[in-house]
Amino acid sequence: MKKTLFFILLSILMLHSNAKEAYIIGVKDLPLDSILINNPVSFVKHNTGILVYIFIFTIILSIALFIILMRSWMKITARKKYEKELEEENNKYETINKEYQALNKKLNITNNKLYIEKGKVEKANKLTHEFLHNMSHEIRTPMNGIIGFADMLKTDDLNEDQRTRYISIINSSCQQLLHVIDDILEISRLDIKKVPVFEEDICLNTLIAELFSVFKLKIKELNIDFRIKKELPDNDSYINTDKVKLLKILSNLLENAIKFTSEGFIELGYYIENNNLVIYVKGKGTTFYVTIPYKPLHKTANTIVNKTAIKKETIKNKLSRTILIAEDEEINFLYLKELLNYIDDYNLNILLAKNGEEAVNLCHENDVDVILMDIKMPVMNGIEASKKIKAFKPDVPIIVQTAYSMAEDKDLALKSGCDDFVSKPIDKDIFLSVLNKYLKLS
């Protein structure tokens, strides 16, 4: 260690201009390990300048080393800081990348949904086109019968049988057109998913008999046998269901069977299976089934009264009744006025209001026994007029007669205070039955 230190110092001394001389004078022929130990004072005395040089050099070297170390430390610190910032940036970009991946996943899901919806829309457009095409045929067919035979009624040389037959065809075509309109409305309600269910107590055997009466003439004209099959007696055939929808379904099935059955028979019937009521329509080679829950009521045959049955009583001295017709369409008013001619039991005084406001005013000015109220009228509609009239004449019967035929329309009218509801086109028998009921109560 000492020798190493000596050679280091010696190497430094040789850098000085007097280093060689000092070596010759002071250390020649001396052992190397005794130069500093045996004569240090002489060494320092003869080499003061060199030692100062060594001291300064050492300080400079230390400073240089310190600077080098500091630069290295700063580089390391900067590199670590950069690496940390780089790691934070990487983490940030990884987070952004994950967000983009999640967003991309959502976009893919949305695109798939849009693709599916696009397919549905295209399918719906196709179905709409087919529907309109079919509806054009279904509407024009009865319209052809109505317009054609109505024009033929103008002929002067028609006999009574021909006239009766033409009128029957026109009436049948009108009923067919009405069914088409009802189907269109029902489809639109299905499309917006607003098809409420209105259950009521009905006699299934009576409903089957009604369908038989409606379709028997049409089926008979095709030389096809029409059969009905009832499993239950009348007292056990009372059920709770939506009569309007059930009639519509079975009517459509029967119409379909008539179209595709050219020979043989058509059968309408029902049976009970596993607490379900299975109603079927059997045509040529095909049977369609409708299954609904069987909810028996076990009522007697006279529980449900047929509204179309009109019982006329002979009254020698006719009573007077005032009927207010609230109707803005002249043709509808004339038709109602003609229907009132079938009322034989009363002397009728007829008042006309062309809007709801006039109806309210006429009720203030007259003793009205029955009101026939249209809903859609100018100035004030029938619903608002009915509420106002019921406010000061709560006992006067109000019968709504309107082209609004939806079940919710009837429900709205009854909630507004009206007493009964007849939908347009007005059936003469139903109308007279309802009107007579309230005329007798007046």
* Distant-in-sequence, close-in-space partners of 143: CB < 8 Å, separation ≥ 6: 173, 177
Render pLDDT for 413-431 as a digit per residue (tens, 0 to 9): 888 899 999 988 888 888 9
Q: The tokens of 319 are what?
A: 């009573």
Per-residue pLDDT reduced to its tens digit, 376-416: 898 999 999 999 999 999 999 999 998 776 777 888 888 88
SS3 content of the chain, % helix, strand, coil (to 5): 60, 15, 25
- Within 13 A of 282's CA, how many CA atoms are on the CB side? 13
Across all residues in the chain, what is the average pLDDT?
A: 79
pLDDT given for residue 302 in this prediction: 42
Whether 86-195 and 319-441 share one fold: the answer is no
Instruction: Render pLDDT for 163-183 as a digit per residue (tens, 0 to 9).
Output: 888 888 888 778 778 877 877
- Inter-residue contact 394 to 365 (CB < 8 Å): no
Domain 319-441 has CATH 3.40.50.280: no
CB-based contact 342:415 (threshold 8 Å): no
Higher pLDDT, 413 or 61: 413
> Considering the domain 200-293 in this protein, what is its CATH number?
3.30.565.10
| 346 φ/ψ angles, rounded to the nearest 5 degrees | -140, 150
- pLDDT at residue 314 is higher than 60: no
Mean pLDDT, residues 127-152 taken together: 77
Q: Is 429 helix (H, G, I), strand (E, B) or coil?
A: helix
Alpha-carbon span 205 to 200, nearest angstrom: 15
Residue 317 has pLDDT above 70, yes or no: no
Q: Which CATH architecture has domain 86-195?
A: Orthogonal Bundle (1.10)
- Which pairing describes strands 200-203 and 238-241: parallel, antiparallel, or unpaired? antiparallel
| Identity of the highest mean pLDDT range in 60-69, 229-238, 403-412 | 229-238
pLDDT of residue 65: 80
Instruction: Please indicate whether residue 315 or residue 229 has the higher confidence score (pLDDT).
Output: 229
| d(C-alpha 434, C-alpha 122), whole Å | 48
Every domain of the chain and the residues it spans: 2-65, 86-195, 200-293, 319-441
Q: What does DSSP assign to residue 296? A: B
